[in-house]
């Protein structure tokens, strides 16, 4: 699994960042096909593309998630879900959702900007409780 933003994806595919930004879904498909892994194409909207080509879109989260370390928190959430036994695509989808919802909650409480990456992870348990999670235990 990879979790690139537009700049990282451009370097990975050997294309210009503007090409990735113009069509992030196409870039995610290219990477998933080339690498044979689940791709989380991060951005204002996050695309999740399975190696089979099936895409999912998460449109939430907010600008506050564009802070240093936020992608590391996303990777940690996904790794935790994988460790609990979730399949890679499921872990990616839940991870993006949990990460985005944490950003939304922090933006409501603190403001759209100004929260720290470490605060994102603190929101995840409450979101899981509220969702009455169906993840493997």
Under a CB-based contact definition with an 8 Å cutoff, are residues 86 and 136 in contact?
A: yes
* CA pair distance 84, 3, nearest whole angstrom: 19
Q: Are residues 74 and 117 in the same domain?
A: yes
State phi, psi for 56 to the nearest 5 degrees: -130, 145
Range of the domain at 113: 61-132
The answer on pLDDT for 28 being more than 90 is yes
Q: Per residue in 79-135, pLDDT tens?
A: 999 999 999 999 999 999 999 999 999 999 998 998 999 999 999 999 988 876 555
Predicted model pTM: 0.90
Report the number of distinct structural domains present in the chain. Answer: 2
Q: Are residues 46 and 72 in the same domain?
A: no
Cα Rg, the chain, nearest whole Å: 14
């Amino acid at each position: 699994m990879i979790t690139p933003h537009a700049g990282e994806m451009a370097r990975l595919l050997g294309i210009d960042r503007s090409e990735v930004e113009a069509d992030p879904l196409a870039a995610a498909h290219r990477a998933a096909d080339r690498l044979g892994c689940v791709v989380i194409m991060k951005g204002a909207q996050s695309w999740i593309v399975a190696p089979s080509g099936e895409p999912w879109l998460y449109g939430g989260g907010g600008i506050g998630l564009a802070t240093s370390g936020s992608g590391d928190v996303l990777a940690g959430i996904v790794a935790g879900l994988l460790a609990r036994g979730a399949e890679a695509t499921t872990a990616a989808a839940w991870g993006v959702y949990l990460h985005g919802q944490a950003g939304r909650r922090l933006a409501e409480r603190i403001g759209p900007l100004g929260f720290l990456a470490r605060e994102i992870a603190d929101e995840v348990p409450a979101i899981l409780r509220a969702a009455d999670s169906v993840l493997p235990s």
